[in-house]
């Protein structure tokens, strides 16, 4: 390809791929109802309705589980921002527009189910949760300045959906509650199907505009941030989640980046020009550095956990 494809040309070229993957998604996705995953018989009124307001002792969740559930839920809550960003970079017509609407509707179920579960089981402080929701959604999420179109967005959501799937599954495990685990497995299954859609579209983009696709992937991978970035207590909660393996650097490298990059055959392609080769080389160097960072992180985490266990044993 002697020139870059315009955004319109990319959208038109990829429209058949989007239509094909939309059909595949609709044939594969399982319909489910958020209310079927909530233990309603555990619910009771709060003080405004003559009941009792939340107290920390009412929660059966550990601190790690509470933090992970809140972080995942607030991430899902910001769906209006994600819908706006995706609709701006995609098209609102044809198969593109149908997908945007379908994706948004499916994602909305996740927040409904998680919030109902947490309120009914009194897993977290509902007042603090609502306050954080107001702050997070008021701030919103805006695509970074370096997002220059559909290819950047498709690359980002491919990795993000897979990362979110992992975070939901690991959160379900630390909740130590079969109800929460079942719900989060269901949500994670949705995220996986969404990832497959975006991964396939991005894979097709490599075939029609390899240099542009390669540059987008490199840009996104080397400056990746989860969509919940910027929510209240993001740094503190993130550290706790990393410490306990809800989502850490090892998972990001081994379970998100490498599997997707291998599917796209990034490091074995022969259709790049010098531009694409430069972007691929930059990506390769970044992944090498990230692997070194992962090793240092795991060594440091092991030391921290050992010291924490020693302190706990001394107190006990």
The residues near 135 (Cβ < 8 Å, ≥ 6 apart) are 231, 232
Interval 201-225 mean pLDDT: 96
Three-state SS annotation for 154-205: HHHHHHHHHHHHHHHHHHHHHCCCHHHHHHHHHHHHHHHHHHHHHHHHHHHH
Which token pair is 144?
Answer: 């970074």
For residue 2, pLDDT beyond 70: no
Range with the poorest average pLDDT among 53-62, 68-77, 230-239, 263-272: 230-239
Range with the poorest average pLDDT among 2-6, 11-15, 71-75, 284-288: 2-6
For residue 255, pLDDT beyond 70: yes
pLDDT band of residue 165 (cuts 50, 70, 90) is very high
Q: Which pLDDT belongs to residue 201?
A: 98
pTM of the model: 0.92
pLDDT in tens, 111-154: 999 999 999 999 999 999 999 999 999 988 877 777 778 999 99
pLDDT in tens, 28-58: 999 999 999 999 999 999 999 999 999 999 9
For residue 76, pLDDT beyond 90: yes
CA pair distance 94, 47, nearest whole angstrom: 49
Contact 111, 174 (CB under 8 A): no
Interval 8-35 mean pLDDT: 96
The residues near 288 (Cβ < 8 Å, ≥ 6 apart) are none
Q: Which pLDDT belongs to residue 301?
A: 80
3-state class of 212 per DSSP? helix
Q: Which pLDDT belongs to residue 63?
A: 95
Q: pLDDT exceeding 90 applies to what percent of the chain?
A: 78
């Amino acid at each position: 390809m002697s020139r870059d494809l315009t955004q319109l040309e990319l959208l038109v070229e990829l429209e058949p791929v989007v239509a094909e993957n939309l059909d595949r998604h609709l044939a594969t996705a399982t319909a489910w109802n958020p209310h079927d995953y909530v233990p309603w018989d555990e619910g009771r009124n709060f003080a405004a309705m003559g009941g009792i307001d939340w107290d920390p002792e009412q929660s059966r969740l550990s601190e790690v589980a509470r933090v992970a559930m809140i972080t995942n839920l607030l991430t899902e809550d910001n769906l209006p921002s994600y819908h706006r960003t995706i609709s701006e970079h995609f098209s609102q017509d044809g198969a593109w527009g149908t997908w945007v609407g379908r994706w948004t509707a499916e994602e909305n179920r996740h927040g409904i189910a998680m919030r109902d579960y947490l309120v009914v089981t009194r897993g977290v402080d509902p007042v603090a949760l609502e306050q954080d929701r107001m702050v997070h959604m008021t701030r919103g999420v805006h695509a970074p300045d370096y997002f220059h179109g559909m290819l950047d967005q498709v690359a980002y959501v491919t990795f993000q959906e897979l990362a979110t799937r992992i975070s939901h599954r690991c959160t379900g495990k630390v909740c130590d509650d079969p109800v929460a685990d079942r719900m989060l497995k269901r949500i994670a299954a949705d995220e996986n199907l969404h990832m497959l859609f975006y991964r396939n579209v991005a894979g097709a983009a490599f075939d029609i505009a390899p240099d542009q696709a390669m540059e987008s992937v490199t840009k996104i991978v080397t400056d990746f941030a989860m969509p919940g970035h910027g929510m209240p207590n993001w740094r503190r909660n993130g550290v706790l989640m990393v410490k306990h393996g809800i989502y850490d650097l090892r998972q990001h490298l081994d379970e998100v980046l490498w599997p997707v990059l291998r599917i796209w055959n990034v490091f074995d392609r022969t259709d790049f020009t010098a531009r694409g080769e430069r972007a691929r080389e930059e990506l390769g160097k970044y992944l090498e550095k990230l692997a070194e960072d992962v090793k240092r992180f795991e060594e440091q985490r092991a030391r921290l956990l050992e010291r924490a266990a020693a302190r706990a044993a001394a107190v006990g």
